[in-house]
Chains A and B, each alone.
Chain A
Amino acid sequence: MANVIELTGVTKRFGHVTALDGLDLSVSAGEVHGFLGPNGAGKTTTLRLVLGLLRADAGSMTVLGLDPWRDVAELHRRLAYVPGDVALWPNLTGGEVIDLLGRLQGGQDAARRDRLVELFDLDPTRRARTYSKGNRQKVALIAALATDAELLLLDEPTSGLDPLMEDAFRGEVRALRDQGRSVLLSSHILSEAEALSDRVSIIRAGKVVETGGLDQLRHLTRTSVTADVRTVPEGLERLPGVHDVVVVNHRVSAQVEPSGLEPIMHALTAAGLRTLTSQPPTLEDLFLRHYGVAAGDATDDAGAGRSDRA
């Protein structure tokens, strides 16, 4: 199947800061593609380039077969975008903004719009200045989801939503995929991308460092396990798929690959398990482990498209 987004060697500099440094990214038609990276890695910059809001310094870009800088109007008829930091006109109501953006997008499905307003539990009669971050995000999400766009670009769409709404959002994204539409979903939360994406690209310091299906990236996902046991069992570190075992008094912690979960659980249960916490790996862990840097150190300020220097 054709790729809806094809970026090759894309470079973008802001002054002397290189935000994107030869970035390659391809998103196939009909997939939900997770775009993962720590803050400042260049996710938002990439999305803005794809939208033609920024101009690339080097590299080639094709989106839905079009040039995002030249064919803006035609391209934007076929895609919808939810910015990471949704800014609304303070005097307009949520309903007015949804309808305005819908019309500018080339029309939205009125029935779907109403269903989404209901689903996300948004009061469309309130002025935008009274909305919380989550509510502003809902306005932009509803406007985007109510269109018939072939491609949706979502920049950290759930960062302000509560868990219930996040669930509703995931349901909508799955429904989109079932209709054969494509989604590029940026996030700095591994579990979010994991829950939705068919494939994932990981960006660091302006470069995509890993791309693949989630199964291929399994090696990246180690669960962090901490347990209190009566007696500390011997030889935990020799179990397959178990790493970084640390023992302090009766507390054992370790990083465990999916294949290592069963053996370590057996061993811990046999040792008299008292408490157990397990955490999915964070992007931070992942970067630390695979690239030898803390995520926050990956870049300085490279992808920061907006900062207040007023």
Chain B
Amino acid sequence: MRDTLVGTGSLIRLGLRRDRWLLPVWILAFAVMAGSTATASADLFPDLASRVEAARRLNGTASVVALFGRVYDPTSIGALSMIKYTAFMTAVLAVLVVVVMVRHTRADEESGRLELLGGGRLGRNAPLTAALTICVGASLLLGLLSGAALVAGGLPVAGSFAFGLGWAATGLAFGAVAGVTAQIASTSRSAIGMSSMIIAVTYVLRAVGDLAEPGPSFLSWLSPIGWNQQVRAYAGDRWWVLLLPLALFAVLVPVAFALRARRDLGAGLREERPGPARGSLAGVWDLAVRLQDRVLAAWLVAFVLFGAVIGSLVSGVEDFFGSANAQDLIKQLGGGQALTDAFLSAEITILGILAAVFGIAAVNHLRAEETAGHAESLLSTTTTRTRWATSHVVVALAGVALLMLLGGLSIGAGAALSLHDGGQVARVTAVSVAQVPGVWVMCSIALAVFGWLPRLTPGVWGLYVAFVALGEFGVLWHAPQWLTDLSPFQHAPRLPLDSGTVTAVVALTATAAVVAALGYVGWRRRDLTA
């Protein structure tokens, strides 16, 4: 047994060296985010009445409950201020953990780096052990630092550490999940895809479970993200719930090692089948579609499902505001239609923010193809740089448009069914499609970075997170208006559509075109790099 672990220490050091920026940046980002929100919340909800009112509003809005979960103690400022972090940011944390795990296991195997090391004294289980160790260490550090930041932000000590350790335990659980998928899948892409699918499913499970009345149904208890909510930090601090993710970790880690023992280095558990001896790919267009079509298909399915769920929730929106005061407010705002529109607009904006993830990833594919050396082969043929880049940019832009079209249709159909109003399909689809130019701006920013600063390609994600965070938390942070306005998502059209929509669509399209053109100029004059 000891032999299979030889070299683990060296691999851990190597991994920490490779992640010397990645890990500290995201650990600090989470801690700072949590701490600053805690600080800001004290000003936002100065007295008990304001908290109870806010918690009642949040718990009464189905879309909020579906997206973020419930506030389990309306009197607790901690439970209130952390609502966006218990489920939503936990899912983001899970994705990061998965990326780190796969990066040090399957990705290294795929690239042959582990083979290079395996020639030396390196045990079979060393890479997985090292990756898990890094993962456990990073999760614990993140949890403790976040707990400390929350205490510094003025929240109760016990709740703060219950919250931080909740993050840590969830990180462990999803690290173990990725440890297993990295053994099953034979490429890092499919390992990350498989893990992300699991994260998405657990997120939806708890969303459906949380919507049940009263309180969470058993579905929430089937989800590690649900467990993190059920720790109920600042609202009872149920420490024993932390045992659930730890138990999952304890079960999955031996499974991962057992799977590793059953396969060869570099192989997945699924056997390779022979493929066609003749190619039917006629050119770079076909190739770009071939490289991205499965990912796009998965996104489309997710969008249609998400849309259907959101659409069907619409009829309940008015009921959530049952009190007389709220009804008055609704009338002032323009009646039930306005409330429904506000709800639909908010959901469609989220759809656009999600579609941008696909768009940016599709454009960033250019850089991945360049560093992999594939671009070198293609650009040594009659394929021009412009043509090759365009092949991926078109997949990105068309994919985003298709996502928003189908997502919009799906929400519209759901809304039409639940409101018995066929007219909803057209207007909801229209506003969904109107989000497209804003998302295209993000795609063209990615292209510009690829053209001018290719080594900073991952930074596009930082910019994306910053834009989204400005939209979500800008008010909390007292961000100046001009800064918030930089985000294309700030200018996303909302229902009802009017002449302002047209102006926004035209302006965003023009911006996307100019930024993309700039990107092409840079790309056509720069060296191919790695």
Chain B: minimal CB distance from A274 (Å): 37
Stretch at the interface among A87-95, A211-219, A254-262: A87-95
- Taking the closest CB of chain A, its distance from the CB of B202, in whole angstroms, is 28
Q: Which of B265-286 contact A (CB under 8 A)?
A: 272, 274-284, 286
Specify which of B277, B372, B374 lies most central, judged by the most chain A CB atoms within 10 Å of its CB.
B277
Which residues of chain A have C-beta atoms less than 8 A from B530's C-beta?
A: 305-307
Interface locus among B50-58, B376-384, B495-503: B376-384
Question: Does A275 belong to the interface (CB within 8 Å)?
Answer: no
A73-B382, A89-B291, A307-B530 known; A124 and B277 CB under 8 Å?
A: yes
On whether the beta carbons of B374 and A104 are closer than 8 Å, the reply is no
Report yes or no: B272 in contact with A127, Cβ–Cβ below 8 A: yes
Whole-angstrom distance between the Cβ of B66 and the nearest chain A Cβ: 36
Query: Which of the 9-residue segments A29-37, A50-58, A238-246, A291-299 touches chain B?
Result: A50-58
Q: Give the distance to chain A from B353, nearest Cβ to Cβ, in Å.
A: 28
Chain A residues, Cβ within 8 Å of B281: 92, 96, 99-100, 103
Q: Given A87-B372, A96-B278, A103-B283 in contact, is the A48-B384 Cβ separation under 8 Å? A: no
Check A129/B187 contact, CB under 8 A, given A83-B376, A87-B377, A99-B278.
yes
**Alpha-carbon separation in the docked complex, A305 to B373 (Å):** 11
Are B528 and A54 in contact, CB atoms less than 8 angstroms apart?
Answer: yes
Contact A130 B287 (CB under 8 A): no
Interface contact B377-A93, CB-CB below 8 Å: no
Instruction: Check: B43 CB closer than 8 A to any chain A CB.
Output: no
Residues of B within 8 A of A124 (CB): 277-278
Q: A49-70 toward B: CB 8 Å interface, digit per residue (1/0)?
A: 0011111000000000000000
Residue numbers in B under 8 Å from A305 (CB-CB) = 530
Main secondary structure of the interface of B (DSSP, over half): loop
The size bracket of the interface on A is: 35 or more
Which of A53, A85, A307 meets B380, CB within 8 Å? A53
Residue with the highest number of chain A CB atoms closer than 10 Å, among B278, B282, B380, B381? B380
Bound Cα distance A266, B374 (Å): 55
A51 adjacent to B384 (CB under 8 Å): no
Question: B527 interface residue, CB < 8 Å from A?
Answer: yes
Q: How far is the CB of A227 from chain B (nearest CB, A)?
A: 35
Is B318 among interface residues, defined by CB-CB distance under 8 A? no
Given A87-B376, A90-B110, A90-B187, A96:B279 Cβ within 8 A: yes
B18: Cβ under 8 A from any A Cβ:
yes
Q: Which residues of A contact B286 (CB under 8 A)?
A: 100
Chain B residues with CB below 8 A from A140, complex form: 377
Is B181's CB within 8 Å of the partner chain A? no
CA distance A54 to B376 in the complex (A): 11
Q: How far is the CA of A73 from the CA of B384 in the complex (A)?
A: 6
Residue from B113, B277, B283, B528 in contact with A104 in the complex, judged by beta carbons closer than 8 Å: B283
Is B427 an interface position by the 8 A CB rule? no
CB of A279 closer than 8 Å to a CB of B? no
Task: Tell me, in angstroms, the Cα distance from A310 to B18 when the chains sit together.
Answer: 7
Give the complex CA separation of A76 and B383 in angstroms.
Answer: 8
Known: A89-B291, A99-B278. A81 touches B380 (CB 8 A): yes
In the bound complex, do residue B279 and residue A95 qualify as a contact, i.e. CB atoms below 8 Å apart?
yes
User: Contact: B275 with A126, CB < 8 Å?
Assistant: yes
Contacting residues, chain A, for B372 (C-beta < 8 A): 87
B215 to chain A, nearest CB (A): 46
Is A72's CB within 8 Å of the partner chain B?
A: yes
- The complex places the Cα of A93 from the Cα of B275 at a distance, in Å, of 6
Alpha-carbon distance A51/B528, docked complex (angstroms): 11
Instruction: List B residues 251-303 near A (Cβ within 8 Å).
Output: 272, 274-284, 286-287, 290-291
CB atoms of B381 and A104 under 8 A apart: yes
A105 touches B (CB below 8 Å):
yes
Looking at B18, B291, B372, B528, the one whose CB has the most chain A CB atoms below 10 A away is: B528
Contact status A104-B284, CB under 8 Å: yes
With the chains together, A161 CA to B309 CA distance in Å? 56
Contacting residue for B381 out of A76, A91, A98, CB 8 A = A76
Q: Does A252 contact B (CB under 8 A)?
A: no
Cross-interface CB contact of A55 among B186, B291, B525, cutoff 8 Å: B525
Judge if B385 is at the interface, Cβ distance under 8 Å.
Answer: yes
Give A123 to B18 CA distance when docked, in angstroms: 37
- In whole angstroms, how far apart are the Cα atoms of A88 and B372 in the complex? 8
How many angstroms between the C-alpha atoms of A92 and B373 in the bound complex?
15
Nearest CB on A from B483, distance (A) = 32
The reply to whether the CB of A249 lies closer than 8 angstroms to some CB of chain B is no
B275–A76 touching, CB < 8 Å = no
Chain B residues near A87 (CB-CB < 8 A): 372-374, 376-377
Q: Evaluate contact between B275 and A54: CB separation under 8 angstroms.
A: no
Expressed in whole angstroms, the minimum distance between the Cβ of B131 and any Cβ of chain A is 16
Q: Let me know if A101 and B381 touch, CB within 8 A.
A: yes
**Which residues 374-399 in B have Cβ within 8 Å of A in the complex?**
374, 376-385
CA–CA, A73 and B379, complex, Å: 9
Q: Write the B168-207 contact mask toward A (1 if CB under 8 angstroms, else 0).
A: 0000000000000000001100000000000000000000
Task: A51 to B383: give the CA distance in the assembly, Å.
Answer: 12
A127-B275 contact given A73-B382, A104-B284, A305-B530, CB 8 Å threshold? yes
The answer to whether A92 and B279 have CB atoms under 8 Å apart is: yes
Binary interface profile of B, 495-530, with partner A (CB < 8 Å = 1, else 0)? Answer: 000000000000000000000000000000111101
Q: Whole-angstrom distance from the CB of A216 to the nearest CB of chain B?
A: 32
Q: Which residues of B contact A101 (CB under 8 A)?
A: 377, 381
Inside 8 A of B385's CB, which chain A residues have their CB?
72
CA distance A130 to B384 in the complex (A): 29
Docked Cα-Cα span, A218 to B311, in Å, equals 82
Question: CA–CA, A184 to B88, complex, Å?
Answer: 57
Flag whether A267 is at the interface (Cβ < 8 A).
no
- Would you call B279 and A104 a contact (CB within 8 A)? no
Q: How far is the CA of A56 from the CA of B105 in the complex (A)?
A: 39
Q: Please give me the residue from chain B that is nearest to A104 by CB atom.
A: B381
Q: Flag whether A77 is at the interface (Cβ < 8 A).
A: yes
Contact present for A129 and B186 (CB under 8 Å): yes
Judge whether B384 and A72 touch: CB under 8 Å: yes
Q: Does A180 contact B (CB under 8 A)?
A: no
Contact B528 A53 (CB under 8 A): yes
User: Do residues B382 and A126 form an inter-chain contact, with CB atoms below 8 A?
Assistant: no
CB distance from B19 to the nearest CB of A (A): 10
Instruction: Mark B residues whose CB is within 8 Å of A.
Output: 18, 110, 113, 186-187, 272, 274-284, 286-287, 290-291, 372-374, 376-385, 525-528, 530
- Residue contacts A-B, CB under 8 angstroms, 5 given: A76-B382, A90-B110, A92-B275, A100-B287, A129-B186
Given pairs A87-B372, A88-B377, A95-B277, 8 additional interface contacts (CB within 8 A): A76-B381, A86-B377, A101-B377, A105-B381, A125-B275, A126-B275, A129-B186, A306-B530
> Residues of A with Cβ closer than 8 Å to B?
48, 51-55, 72-73, 76-77, 79-81, 83, 85-93, 95-101, 103-106, 123-127, 129-130, 140, 305-308, 310
Q: A-B pairs with the 7 shortest C-beta distances? A: A87-B373, A99-B279, A96-B279, A104-B381, A125-B274, A93-B275, A81-B380
